[in-house]
Structures are given as structure tokens and as C-alpha cells.
Structure 1
Amino acid sequence: MENGTDHEEHIHHVIPVAGMYENWFLDYASYVILERAVPAIDDGFKPVQRRILHAMKELDDGRFNKVANIIGSTMQYHPHGDASIGDAIVNLGQKDLLIETQGNWGDIRTGDSAAAPRYIEARLSKFALDVVFNPQTTEWQMSYDGRKKEPVSLPVKFPMLLAQGVEGIAVGLATKVMPHNFCELIKASVDYLKGKNVNLYPDFPTGGFVDVSNYNEGKKGGKLRVRAKIETVDNKTVAIKEIPFGTTTQSLIDSIVKANDQGKIKIKKVVDNTAKNVEVEVQLASGQSPDVTIAALYAFTDCETSISPNTCVIIDEKPCFMSVNEALRNSTDNTVRLLKSELEIRRAELKEKILFSSLEKIFIENRLYREIEECETWEEVLEAIDQGLDPFKAQFYREITQEDIIRLTEIKIKRISKFDTFKADELLRKLEEELEQVNHHLAHLTDYAIDYFNNLLKKYGKGRERKSQISVFDTIQASKVVANNAKLYVNYKEGFIGYGLKKDEYVMDCSDIDDIIVFRKDGKCLVTKIAEKVFVGKNILHAEVFVKNDERKVYNLIYMDGATGVSRVKRFQVLAVTRDREYDLTKGTKGSKVLYFTANPNGEAETLTIYLNQSCMARNKVFDFDFATLDIKGRGAQGNILSKYPVRKIKLIKEGVSTLAAMDLWFDEHIGILNKDKNGKYLGEFSDEDQILVVYESGEYELTSFELTNRYDARQIIHVEKFDPERVMTAIHYDGPGRNYYVKRFLIETSTQHKRFSFINEGRGCKLVFFTTHPTPEVEIAHKTKLGREFITEKLDEYIDVKGWKAIGNKLFVDKIMKVKMLSKEIPVEKNNSSNTTEDGDQKKLF
């Protein structure tokens, strides 16, 4: 029975296997999240990073240490092997913030790995020593084996998590915090302390462009798009100068080769010339446009990638999801707390120093040491000194303890004999001044923290400017990025369009990836992709480049319905269609035909005279019709009845003006397109006959329409604005043959659109040095003389009167201009203002 009872008790304590796995898995998941993959919010470090820095601080003597030695020291705190520690050290070193490196540490741009730990060396940076460590404010815990103490978190007084970025995969969750710009983080912390709103965007060490439209403050569900910086070298070559974050030049080249093999792009050769700077040269196949290739590189290779941020951190030993702005505020608040702790510790130290210095001064100046000469026991000595101090105890901030008296007895006779009252008073004065300053800082803690951050920026901010350029990619489509590298020709009668029909009628410039919209006399329209030769149906009325969702483009149409003979009139838009599908603009009955058609880029509505058949029964056989009386509808609308009788003739009597509201336009300086999406420089409100002024590096200007299909070579442009014929142009240019600089001011006198006019001499060596449309431009000119660089200031509107645009101008008496700096304040373009006042500034450096 006893054995049976024991057996039953044994069975009662058996734990099911499923329960064991559940507990073990939860323990494992918790361990991986807290101790391996996810950083703490307090200092921004994963445990391995924290332990590496702690080990390096213990080893720190100002000299470099072998990384193998650092790994060995770190293993006292991190029980996960040398490989993981070595990888973490290299990762920290490549971020160039906390660790100074020596040797081959690899290259994040090319993907080259670091040399073995025994060959490379490291030490803590001055920045790390300044902001990461303070034993007095560090909370300590025992290491995994109980032999050493390690920090629970390091007292970091800087938003380290956001500066370095971090990526980790745990059990059931992951973290991916983007790196942010050092200087912007400090400025954001200062703004937060000043009560301002802050908004942070990533900055990547590899440079390139970043679209933060959907960044969502780095929270889960946000998205970043990053692009390489690609430049056109010549008509046969493009060069990648900066790469997207998360890629390497090798992975980029592999993706380009793969896209070429799949037929998505056509290239001849890819060469990696990366040395100090990234340079991947892409040589184009014969007949390929550089702009088309650049668009294809973004579309089909790793030249554009997307990143999904996910800011997950450890707070109070729990994983939490937050935004980067919250993380910054948390870090800044933590920095303020640490600064307060340091000040309070220093205040306590100063109080103790002042107390003992005062005790020492009283003890020596009042010769209290003589009171102990007659004492026979240690207790009598302490009591005698204590009684001697009684008259002075009221002046101290705390009670005098036995330990204080014992310290007095330890003063050496030599110190007493050489005691200098003046020096003692001076020391006390300095200590009290410092204490007063510390108390002031504690009373004005926010101002103190702001000064702390500003000093960090001044001390360590140089050379840490933003590397990634913030841009917007939403509107950058292949059809818009590509240059006008083809021409649209149309055979109206036979129904062919294409860029290979050079014997037929030229319509407009286009690109070889554009869509073309075609309208026919039978009342049908279709959109098709341009090719060398495409059949779209006989009897073409109109053909042009199709711009999807162009709400400004309005078509005016009169057609006769084949079933009833009734003439109908309509105004409509074609915003989106299915490619190569025919759409009826009439009621679709047999025999329907178009009587009148116009395509209006800005919603113009003309006035017509309608002539009916003389034999019809209509009372008025001639009447006027104004398209402005019609509403703009979709392409499928039947339209209003114009006449039930046959129309004999239609005559235009008045050109149309726009019936649409003025349109706000922006110019994207990076890709050279106009847009309504608020990308780039705001140009103003455009309507009717407004034009755009474009000024080029070559010293030429051009007037253009404001159609969204316009494309501009952004690399050659130095200035774009809404054209005002009354606005004066000011230029400084160099005359090569005469070897002189000239200032000229002139008005635009030409009216021809889409034609360049040179306003400087066209001889060899002639060049444009400076250009502005500011009404009162004042500039600082740095020029080279025999004595070195000198500066002069000139008010250019007073230097010369306004003359003809072909005039050479007045001579500027300088030898060689090094730089021209604009001193006049910019005049902003106000939205919802019909005036032609445009923005100055935006000046591109010409040399």
C-alpha cells in the first residue's frame, strides 16, 4: 500500500509535456526579446552593444586595443560567443560615432567585410567618453556568472537609438529603427525643450534620395522609399554616385545585370569604380536614352527600394511600439534627468567640500588642535574638538559628525604650519561660486539642458551634415522622367501614328515610352503606346501625348447622331482609360460623325457661328454658340442638343478663354517637370496666357507654356519662375574674348515659346556667372587679386540701368570672380495671389 501511495503521489506531480514546451517557449521568447534583439529606450543599446562599450571603458587608457582583446573582455559579460560580439563591434565601428577604428573595418557601401579581429583595433571616441559613461549615475547589476558588475543601462545623454539606428529580429516581433542625422537630432531635442513640435526624418550614411511621405514617424505600418543618386555622364553612360540604404554596390550591380538578362533594361556594361566615393558606371546599349535607362533602373533594379520601419524598444522590461518623435522626447527627458542627477551629485560634493574646508579653516585658525594636548584618551580628543566647534556649528548645512572630527585629527602638522588663510578663503570662494552656479543650473534645468545640447552640436557636429536628400517619388513615373527622345508623326488619312513616320506630319516631341491619345472622325477615341508605327484607325482628327488624370485638359465636340440626324454638343475630359480600347464619344449609332473638335490644354471655351442647311425648316438658320455655357462632363456623356436640323457649316468667331480656376503649379528641380502635387518650388497661380520663364547655365532663357507635359533638363537649369514681362532680369557674365566681367539688366522682349535665346556673348570662354530676378539685388562678390581673395558689395540695380536684352552691359572691374553671394532677402511667392511676384533665391551655383 505504501508503495502504491508513493506511486500515486509521483503520478500526481507529473507535468504534461505540452505545458513544459509552453513555459520554455515563453521563457525563450522573453529572453530573446529582452537580452538579444531589441534595444532599451533608456540608452538605445542592445545588451551586446552595452556590454561591448562597458568592456571598452574598462580597457580604456587612451590607446587602441585589438578587437580580439575587446571581444575577450566582453565575453565576461555576454555569454554568446566571440562571433556575435565581433559582428556587433564591427557594426558599431562602421557607424563612426562611438568607436574610433584603425585597420580594415570593411565598407558598408561595397559590402566588403572587415578584417579578422586580431588585425583591427578600436578605442572609444571622445564623443562616447563625453555622453555615454558616468559611474555615479549608472545602475549596476551582477553579470551572468556573478563575478563582475555590469550596467543595467548606460547613462547616455543623447538620442543614441535614433542616431545609430538598429535592426533586430526576436520571437514574435522585430525592430527596425532608421538612423537619423546627428545635427538634426540635437536641434530637435533643443526645439522640444523649447516647447516646439518636432518631426524627424531618416538620414542614411550611404546618401541617396529618400521619400518620407509615408514614413508615419517611424511607426509600425510606415514605409520609406530610397533611391540611388544617378547622373548622366554622356549620351552613352550614366553613373550611380550614391546608393540606397540597405544595398551595396555589389548587390546593386547584381540587380542591374539581372534586369538586363530579363530584358527590362538594355545595357552594354557595368563597371564599379568605387574608391573614396561611390561610382558605378552603367554603359548603355546602342540607341538607348540615358533618361529612359535611369527611369528603368529605378523601376526594375535595387536603385530604388522600400523600407518598412518599426520602432520597437524595451521600456520597463517590456517591448513597446512607438514613433521616432516619441523616442526623441523620451531620450531628451532622460537626458534632462541625467543632467539633473549629475548636478545634484556635484552639489552634494561641493557642499561637503565647503563644509570640510570651513571646518579645517576653523580648526586651524582657532587653534583647536591645542585643546587636545591635555587629553589622555581618544574619546577626550574627539569631545574636545567637538566642544571647540560648538560656536560655529550653526553655520553648517548639516550636523557635524564624528567622522568629520576624525578627518580633522588626520590633518598633518606640516599642513597646519603652512596654512594660508588667503588661499583658504580663495578656495572657499571658488567652491561657493561653483555651488551657486550649480544651484542656478538646477533652478533653470531646461536652459541648462539646451546649452548642453548646443555645446554637443558645436563640439561634434562638424562634418555630420545630412547626407540623404529628402524628395518625393510619388509623381516620378517613367513616362515623366524620360526626356523627349522621340517625335510623334501622324498620317491622318491612313490612320497611322509613330515616331518612325518621318515622311508624315510632325505633331509634337514625345518620349518612346509615352501613351498617345487619338480622336477619329467617326467619334471614337483610344489611347495606345507609341511605337515606330501603329495603326489606330482611318481619318484621324487629333493625336497627342496622353496625360492620365489631367483635369485641365478639356475637349470641345460637336457631332451628328447617325440614327436621328440630331447635332449634339459636349465638353468632356478623358482622365483614365484602358489602353488600346476604343471609346465612343457619340451615342455610338451607325453613321455618327464629328462636325467640330478642339483640344484645350487649359479648359478654353470658344464661340462659334453655326450655319444650318438652307432647305431646313428652322426659323434661325444662323446662330452663335458659346462652349462656356456647357458644363464639363465625362467622355461618355451624350451632350446637349445643338440643333435638330442638318448643320451645313461651323465657323470660329472668337478664341476661347479658360473657364477653369487658376491652377497652382510647382516645379520639381530634381526631375524637371511641372506638377500640381506640391513637389519642389512653388511657381504661382497660372491661367489663360501665363507663361514660364526658364534660365539655363549656358546664359540662355526660354519662355514655355505651363502644360504638365512639358519636360525640362533640370541639370542645365538655374532658375524657373512664372513669367512677368515687367520684371527685370539681372546677370553677371564673363566675356571670353574680351576677358572682362559685365553686369547687365534687361527685360524679356521676345514672345516665341519653346525657343532659347542667349542673353550673353556666345564666343569662346563666355559664361554666365550669376542670375536673379530680384527687383533690388545686392550681392557680395569674392574675387581673386594679387594679394589674395577680396570682397566687394554691389547694389546691381544701381550699378546699371535697364537696357536691351542683347546689350553687353557695364564692365565690372574685378580680375577673377570666385563666388557671388546674394545679400538681398528672398521675396516669397504667395499662394492664392494672382500677382506675378515670384520667388527669388533658388540660385544654382555656377562655379
Structure 2
Amino acid sequence: MTQETTNDKGSASVPSQSVPPAPGGAGGRGDVEDMYESWFLDYASYVILDRAVPNLYDGLKPVQRRILHAMSELEDGRYNKAANIIGHTMRYHPHGDMAIEDAMVKMAQKDLLIDTQGNWGNVATGDRAAAPRYIEARLTKFAKEVLFKDEVTEWQSSYDGRNKEPLTLPVKFPLLLVTGVEGIAVGLSTRVLPHNFNEVIDQAIGYLQGKSVTLYPDFLTGGSVDVRQYKDGRKTGRVKVRAKLEIVDNKTIKVADLPYGVTTASLIDSIISANDKGKIKVKKVEDNTAEFVEILVHLSPGVSPHVAMDALFAFTDCEVSLAPSCCVIRDTKPYFCSVTDLLQESVDHSKDLLELEYKIQKQALLEKLHLSSLELLFIEHKIYRKIENAENWDQVLATIRRGLKPFSKDMIRELTDDDISKLTEIKIKRITKFDRSKAEEHLVKLKEQIQEVDDKLSDMVATTISYFKKLKKEYGPGRERRTKIEVFETVEARAVAVVNQKLYINRREGFIGTSLKKDEFLFDCSDLDEIVAFTKDGQCMVSKVSEKTFYGKNIIYAGVFTRGDDKTVYHMIYQDGRGGPTYQKRFAMAAATRDRAYDLTRGNKGSRVHHFSVNPSGEGEVVEVILKPEAKARNKVIDVDFSELAIKTRSVKGLLVTKEPVANVDVVSRDAPVVESVDLWFDSKLRRLNVDKKGKKLGSFAGDDKIFTLYRSGSIELSGYDLDTYFDENILHMGKYSDDIIISCVYYHGEKKDYYVKRFKMEELSIGRREEFIPQEPGTKLLILSFNPEPAVEVSFKKGKRGTPDSEVLDLSDIVQPKGVKAIGNKLSRQSVKSVKLHKS
């Protein structure tokens, strides 16, 4: 039996042979427990320190470090076969080639440290890389500059003791924050989300300047991220990541970017699964992904693309939630921290490494200066001639030492035998061609270089800032942020669930469910809905849609229950117990505990409901309570106007109507639903309408009112004012539709190479159909948009014939009359236009 142990630096050592027997003889339960505890702790320590968790100072797991070290040893500027790199890495790695290959491919796909050639797989589609014998790699220029420096590297023995490998690489960059990492060890896990290269450098510089640090994730797959709960990357944080969805038309939604960790295959599977479960209605899903992600979701007839978009976020991998857990190895121990802590410690470590490198560089320059000065003295004062009569080596050394002794006060350091030995190795040819001026010029340059290093060492903060700025200038272009930071509005799954169930009711027996197909059909609903039912004896219960649920016998009303709904008002007239008085009550029910029976009466046995109605908009109604003939009251008909009754909670007793026996209740009149206008605002961050006064106010809306939206691409669209509508990006203007609005615009026609003006109304537009109001040829650009009834522009002209004006104010209403949306318009001017801007009258 063997046991794998770890040394005090956290690296795996050679497996030790045969565990010694425990005291007291073998086979006892205590012996087994002791051995299990020892082996488990050794294994846990090994997995944490040597496999799953990256080191704080270089941001690398051991396997990644060994791969990069092997690539550095093989580096000659040319590509190496991946198989060759994997084989070379196995000299340091105690595991097989598959583990190395997998780690290498993942590193290469992050496009920072490894320059690849061939098919290295696809992060978006999840396609695997080709076999290692077919693909090639080498270190990037960035990796060679930032990761390696033998002089400052601490080394350790490899797992078999045959080679030396770095304990950590001297990485002068917060590498882990850019690449990100995931790992599962024994008892803990780590997940550091990737961040933007340029932003990490900016924040590193800001930290060195004493500013606060703010970092948010950025993913190669793009999409958008909500970072409100990121909590600086700590273990308790969480982010939501969304795919980029675009409405192509009323029947098609395009997925353009993917959430982090999701592939096109897994996303399509999640959409198909949601469709099979009835969560969304999709006709087909088409994958057109090539260089860029493009998944087309074709909707079933009658499905709103806006509702479908919300359903994709709610029920598929178009939206995923990620929980960061920033755990690294610091001083051979796991260390939980924030991304700010990680950045600060990495930057401080980078500064220390730079300082150490400059000190080593200074020492090397001083050594060069020392030897060059000795050479100058040795040749200029012809000390080499004095060794001609020396009979042995000791006399040679002594002679040179005596010759240099007068200059010892000016030497950089004490003269050694090794220094003298180097002087004897100078060739005669160099001595005969010695040029004092060149030698002194060389010494001056060395002193200047030493001074430059001293200047850098005197202010390492400024030196480190300059270093990071250099990295950003050289390697930052092309690494702009890909993931858009947004605030996501929570999508309620129930609100966007597809109506996919048929609900049936047995009123007498009190059952409601989807399996009661022989009974009365109630209505269509979603399997996420909750159903509320009221019974003849004044009981009420809320329960989730199921195959069969008992609500209570003699159901008088059942409907979908909407939590938080305070507009729906219930009217009820009930008799309290057998022969008891009759009460009226008007109540709302915005909340209820599921599967709990509520008594809406006073709880006396024999109570029953004479009248019950549901009023979605809080309408009032007038009813007649007709008493039985044997009633003692003279007036046998009592009018009850519910609009005069205050709206209370469901537990209220209500007001007394009569103590006499009631025959029945008839409805006399009911108020028509009040169509109230609503003030709407548009939140450009959420790209949704709201009534919470967030964003730009659009106005008051009621009935058939519509919204028009103009986009920067030169298109326009009409829509309703449903709060669930999700608007596209690049909105130029949004407003309330009116037949009287005339839109004027000036644009540059890319094909005709000229400026055009057009004016149009929106009468011919249809709701939900986007129309282009300027041509879509390449080079066409919208320049001016105006809603002024009498718009004017200032036009600057190119130099032409003598007498032509340099500029002119033009009234657009004189140039073109309002026409259709698709009209091209008229030329802005016959002269060559230089520029145009809106005239402020």
C-alpha cells in the first residue's frame, strides 16, 4: 500500500512505502480510523495545494504553471506540436497526458498566454480541440514578457526529483483576475470570474495612486451582466448573466451572444426542453453559428416576441446565475478574499518583483562598470607588461594586484583574484587596438544606465505605474469590454409562462384539476398559476395548478390568483349560521398562504353565501336583497350599494344587512370598468416601460394609445404600452404616437454620395412591424432628426464658384413635403455640402 504525501511547500513528493503498523496490533477499529484520518488529510491537502486552487502570487494552478514552464523551455520562436509540449510537461506533472491536454486547451482558449495554430476547439459551441498531434502552440509575447525571469524565480524539485520546476512563476501582472479560474477541491471550491484586461490595468494603476478599486466581470462570450449582487467577488456574491437577444421580426428572436459557461448546444437543449415542458411555444430552433454566434428561435403563431424573450430568460439558459468564490493559496494555505484584495496583493507583488529585477539589473551593471574600469586601468597604465617576468601564476596575480593598488580607492568593490584572472584573458589584439575615448564613453553609458535604474528604484510606485501603462499600450488594443453591464429587471416566471394547461372543475364535489376531463371545463392556464376558489359555505383556498385538488364542496367561483393584486375587489353577502343575521362585506385579497382554508364568515356552523361577485377593476354594484314572505319587516326588498362600502381585508365581519330570513339576492346594476389613464416612463437601462417615474416620461396613456420608437439604424416601430414589452438597444427617440406628428430628418445617402432630406407621418405604420425610414445601403448615416413643424438646418458648403455662399440656413419644409415612411426624399442642396447641423431659431 502506498501513501502520497506533500512537502512543506505544498508540492507532491515521492509516494512513501508501506504505512507502519499502529501500536496495539493491526486490525483494530482505532487503527483503521487513524489511518483513514491521516490519509484523508494528506489527500485533501494535496488536492487543495497541488491541483485545484491557484496560487495568489502567479494566479496559476500547478498544472498550468508546469505547462507554461515547459513551453518556456521549448521556446525558440516557432510553434511546437501540442503533443510535444504535453510530453515535455509530463517531466514535471505526476498525472497523465489527458489532464495536461485539457488544462492546456482551456488556457489557450482564453487567448492571452498561448498563441495557437490549428483547431483548438470553440468556447461558444463546445466543440473539442483536434488531437494534440495536429495542433501547435507557442508562448505569446505578453507571456514571455510578464511570466518569466529565472533570476527571481524560486525553484523546487519535481515530483520524481529528477528536475527543477518553479515554486511560482514571477508574474508581474494580476493574471488570475483576467483569466479567471474554477476548481473543486476537498471541502472547498474556487471560482474567480474573468475580468477585462484593460480595466484590470486601470484599477491597478488607480490602486497605486491611492484610489478605490472597482472591478466587474467581463466574459469572452459577450452577453450582459447584472453586477448589483457581485459583492466584490466574495463567496456570498452572485451575478446574473444574459445572452444577447434581438427581435428579428414578430416570429423570430436571434441569440447573438452567450452567457458565460453556456454553449450553443446546451442553450438549444434548454430551449427545446422548455418547449417540451410547455414553458414557451417554439416552432423550431435554427443554429447558424459560424465565426459568430447566431441562433434563430422561430416562435409559434400568435406568440408575442416580447413575452417570448422574457420566457427565454426565465426558463432557459439565456439567463444563468453565477456564484463567485474567490479562494487562492497564500503561504501554503487556502485564503478567501475579494477581487479587490486579489488585485491589491497581486499589484504589490508585481511591484516587489519589479524592484527585485531592477536591483539585480543594477548589480549586473555595477559589475560591468567594475570590470570595464579595471580593463581601462590595466591597459592604459600598461600593467600587462609587468607580468612578462613573472615565473608562475601566483606572481602574475601579485604583479597585477600591485599595479592596480594605487587605484583601489576609486574601485566599485574590492579587487578579487577572479577579477585579475579575467584581465589576463584579454587578447593582445584588443590591447593593441585599445581606444581610450571609446572605453571612457562606454563607462559613461554604464553610469547613465545605473542612474536610470537608481531613479526607478527611488520611486517604485511611479515605476510600476509606468510598467502597467506600457502593458496596456502594447497589449490592450483589441481587448475592449465584451460583456455589457446592465441592470436586469426580474422576470417573474408565472407572468411569462405559456398557457399550456386546461383546467376542469367539479363544483358539487369541490375538485379542480387538469385531469378532470369528464367534468366542466373552467379555463386555460399555465402550470405555474395558482387557483383561488370560493365555496357556498364561505370558505376560500388558494392552491397551485395540479391534476386534482380538493377546494371544498359547492364551489361558487374559481379563478387565477394573482399575488399582490390589490385592484380586484370581492363582494359578498352571507348568512351567519343557520337562521342567523345577514352581512355584507367588500374586500381585497392580495396575499394568501397556499393550501390553507380561510373562513370568510364569522365561523358559525350552517353559514352560507347569498351573493358573491369578483370585480377586477374594483367596480361597484347595486343588488336587491329579497326577504322571505314570512319576514316580519314591512319592506321585503333591501337595496345594497357596494360602492358605498369601504374595501377591507378578507377577515372583516362586514356590515349588518338584516336579521330577517333572506330568500335571494338580485343584481340591479353594475358599474362599467373604469378605463384610467396611466403615466408612463421609459427606463433606458432596463429598456422597459414603468410607472415608477424612472427614466424619461412619455406621457399619459389610455385605451388604444401607442408608442413610436426611432432607432439609430434609421428604422421606426409602433408598439402598445404594455409594461412587459422589452425594447431593443440603440434607441434614438421614443414618444407617444399622434397622427399630427411630422418627423423630419437629414441623412447622407451612402450609395448616391449626397445629402437628402425627408419628412413623413406615421399613419401607414402597423403595430409590431419595424420599417426603415432611410435607405440601408452601406455608408448611409442619419444626421439630423427633428419634430419641429417648421424645421431648419445650417448647411456649410464646400468651396465652389466665386459668389457661392459658404453657408446657408435652409427651411426643410420648403425642400420637401411630408410623404410616406419609405420615400427617399429630396436632395438637401444642389451645391456640394460640407456639413449640416440643426438650426436653433
For the criterion TM > 0.5, the same-fold answer is yes
Correspondence for 2:339: 324
Gaps of 5+ in 1: 1-8, 484-510, 518-524, 530-544, 601-626, 641-654, 787-792, 825-847
Correspondence for 1:839: none
Correspondence for 2:85: 70
Q: SS in structure 2 opposite 1:424?
A: helix
Q: Assess, with a 3 A threshold, how the Cα gap between structure 1 residues 75 and 514 changes in structure 2: closer, same or farther.
A: closer
1:590: Cα distance to partner? 11
Correspondence for 1:433: 448
Correspondence for 1:673: 689
Aligned pair partner of 1:714 in 727, 737, 744: 727
The amino acid of 2:141's aligned partner reads K
- Do 1:800 and 1:810's aligned partners in 2 also have CA atoms closer than 8 Å? no
Q: SS in structure 2 opposite 1:107?
A: coil
1:205: Cα distance to partner? 1.7
Q: Assess, with a 3 A threshold, how the Cα gap between structure 1 residues 383 and 13 changes in structure 2: closer, same or farther.
A: farther
Is 1:112 the counterpart of 2:156? The answer is: no
Q: Assess, with a 3 A threshold, how the Cα gap between structure 1 residues 221 and 743 changes in structure 2: closer, same or farther.
A: same
Give the distance between the partners of 1:675 and 1:581, measured in 2 at CA: 33
Correspondence for 1:769: 782
Correspondence for 1:258: 273
Give the distance between the partners of 2:794 and 2:162, measured in 1 at CA: 68
Give the distance between the partners of 1:40 and 1:84, measured in 2 at CA: 19
Alignment RMSD: 6.1
Q: SS in structure 1 opposite 2:254?
A: strand
TM-score normalised according to structure 2 size:
0.69
Is 1:177 the counterpart of 2:198? The answer is: no
Correspondence for 2:45: 30
Q: Matched residues, percent identical? A: 47
What is the correspondence of 1:566-645 to structure 2 with a 5 Å cutoff?
A: none
Correspondence for 1:442: 457
Give the distance between the partners of 1:814 and 1:527, measured in 2 at CA: 73
What is the correspondence of 1:425-824 to structure 2 with a 5 Å cutoff?
A: 425-477=440-492, 667-669=683-685, 671-674=687-690, 676=692, 682-683=695-696, 695-697=709-711, 710=723, 714-715=727-728, 718-719=731-732, 732-734=745-747, 740-742=755-757, 769-770=782-783
Q: Assess, with a 3 A threshold, how the Cα gap between structure 1 residues 154 and 672 changes in structure 2: closer, same or farther.
A: same
Q: SS in structure 2 opposite 1:319?
A: strand
Is 1:122 the counterpart of 2:163? The answer is: no
Give the distance between the partners of 2:727 and 2:21, measured in 1 at CA: 83
The amino acid of 1:674's aligned partner reads N
Give the distance between the partners of 1:419 and 1:455, measured in 2 at CA: 40
Give the distance between the partners of 1:36 and 1:330, measured in 2 at CA: 22
Q: Assess, with a 3 A threshold, how the Cα gap between structure 1 residues 567 and 247 changes in structure 2: closer, same or farther.
A: closer
Give the distance between the partners of 1:436 and 1:781, measured in 2 at CA: 60
Q: Assess, with a 3 A threshold, how the Cα gap between structure 1 residues 33 and 343 changes in structure 2: closer, same or farther.
A: same
Correspondence for 1:238: 253
1:364: Cα distance to partner? 1.7
- Out of 334-343 and 803-812, give the one that drifted further: 803-812
Q: SS in structure 2 opposite 1:43?
A: coil
1:222: Cα distance to partner? 2.2
Is 1:391 the counterpart of 2:386? The answer is: no
1:209: Cα distance to partner? 2.1
Give the distance between the partners of 1:358 and 1:782, measured in 2 at CA: 73
- Do 1:692 and 1:721's aligned partners in 2 also have CA atoms closer than 8 Å? no
Aligned pair partner of 1:139 in 124, 141, 154: 154
Correspondence for 2:66: 51
What is the correspondence of 1:272-291 to structure 2 with a 5 Å cutoff?
A: 272-291=287-306
> What do residues 274-296 of structure 1 show as CA deviations (whole Å, max 9, x unaligned)?
11111122222232222232222
Aligned pair partner of 1:416 in 431, 441, 445: 431
- Do 1:743 and 1:800's aligned partners in 2 also have CA atoms closer than 8 Å? no
- Out of 94-103 and 474-483, give the one that drifted further: 474-483
- Do 1:693 and 1:720's aligned partners in 2 also have CA atoms closer than 8 Å? no
Q: Assess, with a 3 A threshold, how the Cα gap between structure 1 residues 471 and 114 changes in structure 2: closer, same or farther.
A: same
Q: SS in structure 1 opposite 2:335?
A: strand
What is the correspondence of 1:363-402 to structure 2 with a 5 Å cutoff?
A: 363-402=378-417
1:721: Cα distance to partner? 7.7
- Do 2:246 and 2:728's aligned partners in 1 also have CA atoms closer than 8 Å? no
The amino acid of 1:235's aligned partner reads N
Give the distance between the partners of 1:638 and 1:71, measured in 2 at CA: 80
The amino acid of 2:365's aligned partner reads L
Give the distance between the partners of 1:71 and 1:699, measured in 2 at CA: 54
1:69: Cα distance to partner? 1.1
The amino acid of 1:348's aligned partner reads Q
The amino acid of 1:151's aligned partner reads P
Q: SS in structure 2 opposite 1:343?
A: helix
1:440: Cα distance to partner? 1.0
1:348: Cα distance to partner? 0.7
Q: Assess, with a 3 A threshold, how the Cα gap between structure 1 residues 22 and 480 changes in structure 2: closer, same or farther.
A: closer
Give the distance between the partners of 1:803 and 1:703, measured in 2 at CA: 32
- Do 1:481 and 1:671's aligned partners in 2 also have CA atoms closer than 8 Å? no
Count of residues paired in the alignment: 717
Q: Assess, with a 3 A threshold, how the Cα gap between structure 1 residues 191 and 10 changes in structure 2: closer, same or farther.
A: closer
> What do residues 588-623 of structure 1 show as CA deviations (whole Å, max 9, x unaligned)?
9999999xx9989xxxxxxxxxxxxxxxxxxxxxxx
Is 1:194 the counterpart of 2:215? The answer is: no
Q: SS in structure 1 opposite 2:131?
A: coil
1:73: Cα distance to partner? 0.7
1:136: Cα distance to partner? 0.8
Q: SS in structure 1 opposite 2:412?
A: coil
Q: SS in structure 1 opposite 2:297?
A: strand
> What do residues 221-257 of structure 1 show as CA deviations (whole Å, max 9, x unaligned)?
3222222222222222222222222221112222222
1:77: Cα distance to partner? 0.5
> What do residues 663-696 of structure 1 show as CA deviations (whole Å, max 9, x unaligned)?
99660455433375x9xx844899999x999651
Q: Assess, with a 3 A threshold, how the Cα gap between structure 1 residues 326 and 762 changes in structure 2: closer, same or farther.
A: closer
The amino acid of 1:50's aligned partner reads R
Give the distance between the partners of 1:412 and 1:276, measured in 2 at CA: 62
Q: Assess, with a 3 A threshold, how the Cα gap between structure 1 residues 731 and 361 changes in structure 2: closer, same or farther.
A: farther
TM-score normalised according to structure 1 size:
0.68
1:46: Cα distance to partner? 1.0
